[in-house]
Structure 1
Amino acid sequence: MKRAERLHALSEMLRRSGSRGCSAERLAHDFDVSVRTVKRDLEALERSGAPVWSRPGPGGGYGLAAGSSLPPVSLSASQAVALMAAVSAARDAPYSDSAAAGVQKILDVLDPRTRARADELAGRVWVSAPPSGSRAIRSAVEEAMAEQRVVRIRYTSQGGTTTDRDVEPVLFASRNGQWHLVGWCRTREAIRWFAVSRIQRANVTSTPCTGHTVDEVGEPPSHARAVHGQPD
């Protein structure tokens, strides 16, 4: 179990224990770690603003103040600013609006001291991001991808030819700094790459996709990977 997951599970166990609390030995046994590690985790929870209480002596232990509420993951100021910078620098990325909303939720539950440090540090990070394209178009292709429904687009090619296409979305890909909708084009009956910036109009239809997969697109370049992969 990763430490962030353990901290969340630890806070939930303390919450469930109520006024009885839990001993450090019991917590160490349940999480299969040392007592020393548990105490470090408890200190980390307390630094994050969690209302951890301790009761020394026989029958004592640790617990959380009644009625307390904790975020699922505790972030440092630098981690929070890293998320803010990543979202600000990628305004044209798929689901960037959802990402911005998610980051705001995280900021809203930071303890006041960490939030103040994050706000101060954020003022020292400048981002020059290119203007994002039409929000309506991005929302349509994002919805089509998430719901796996055919999207009808009006597309202007690099050569200036404009056509209407029905596309079954397969994946989003960033190539040479530009985002593409990659999908099965029903007009050409083949996988095609569409630069999102050249989509003039997009409407999600009620037609479900027929099951084209990422494998049909081929192998990604050696320097590319899916976003759920861990950084090298």
Structure 2
Amino acid sequence: MNRTDRLYGLVEELRAASPRPRSARRLAERFEVSVRTIERDLAALQQAGLPIWAEPGRTGGYVIDAAATLGPPGFTPDEALAVLIGLGTLRHSPFRHAAHTAGRKVLAVMPDADAGRASALASRVHFLESEDEPVLPAAFAEALGAGRVVRLRYLDGTGAESVRDVEPLGSISKEGQWYLVAWCRLRDGVRAFRADRMRSIEVTDERPPRRTVRSEDLAIQYGRLRSLGDD
């Protein structure tokens, strides 16, 4: 049995036993591997986000939420490399924390040999970055996905500071710069706010009305606006 099959088997074994625990020794006997291998596999599943925890004591062991499942496999080393490169470009972006954990999850559920090859290939890929590359606020990602009105303390292009209540509609990335596209209540229209000019981001409890944004609303004078959903 290869590692991918064993990871799936571990999840199903724990689900079948839930809420009763299974010891690492019993799982090792079931899958005919060492206890250390089982513990390493369980750690990989935990890193991948599976709700597995250990119960202490003589009758303890590992338990999983019975509703948990492991997503389908299918990454080849080259596909995993492409994913890791894409995630690596987000190191200074507002999505850097999610990108970091996503990269670990991709490797955690791959067979050891494939994960090792993907990691080795990724180590050969380098990014030439500016020494003063700004680290953009991680709260940007929360503001984008919260579905709430967001209060920004914001510096405009002249350095003037204002407080804006905005309704997030999307985001735009251009040459390493990230913008939050939102309906600005102060200006009563769609605006794009640069992430590096945001001094604070507060997600309120207010739900905004449903709005749509069109590319012509943004007055983009160059380039083509492409969605992640486009081929």
What TM-score do the two structures reach when normalised by structure 2?
0.61
SS of corresponding position for 1:214? coil
**1:224 counterpart residue number:** 225
Alpha-carbon deviations, 1:66-99, whole Å to 9, x = none?
Answer: xxx9751321212212211111122244533223
Q: Percent identity?
A: 30
**1:36 counterpart residue number:** none
**1:77 counterpart residue number:** 77
**1:120 counterpart residue number:** 120
**1:133 counterpart residue number:** 135
Alpha-carbon deviations, 1:156-211, whole Å to 9, x = none?
Answer: 11111111111110110113441101101111111111101110111111111111
**Conserved in 2, the CA contact under 8 Å of 1:144 and 1:204?**
yes
Structure showing greater radius of gyration is 1
Q: Residue 196 of structure 1 aligns to which amino acid in structure 2? A: A
Q: Partners of 1:115 and 1:124 in 2: how far apart?
A: 15
Q: Partners of 1:229 and 1:206 in 2: how far apart?
A: 32
After TM superposition, the structure 1 = structure 2 runs for residues 24-103 of structure 1, keeping only pairs within 5 Å, are 72-103=72-103
Structure 1 unpaired stretches of 5+: 1-10, 16-68
**1:192 counterpart residue number:** 191
Residue 217 of structure 1, CA deviation: 5.8
Q: Partners of 2:204 and 2:212 in 1: how far apart?
A: 19
What TM-score do the two structures reach when normalised by structure 1?
0.61
CA pair 123-177 structure 1, distance change in 2 beyond 3 A = closer
Structure 2 unpaired stretches of 5+: 1-7, 13-68
Q: Partners of 1:70 and 1:199 in 2: how far apart?
A: 38
**Conserved in 1, the CA contact under 8 Å of 2:73 and 2:109?**
no
Q: Residue 228 of structure 1 aligns to which amino acid in structure 2? A: G
CA pair 92-228 structure 1, distance change in 2 beyond 3 A = farther
Residue 125 of structure 1, CA deviation: 1.0
**Conserved in 2, the CA contact under 8 Å of 1:144 and 1:169?**
yes
Q: Residue 229 of structure 2 aligns to which amino acid in structure 1? A: H
**2:180 counterpart residue number:** 181
CA pair 226-94 structure 1, distance change in 2 beyond 3 A = farther
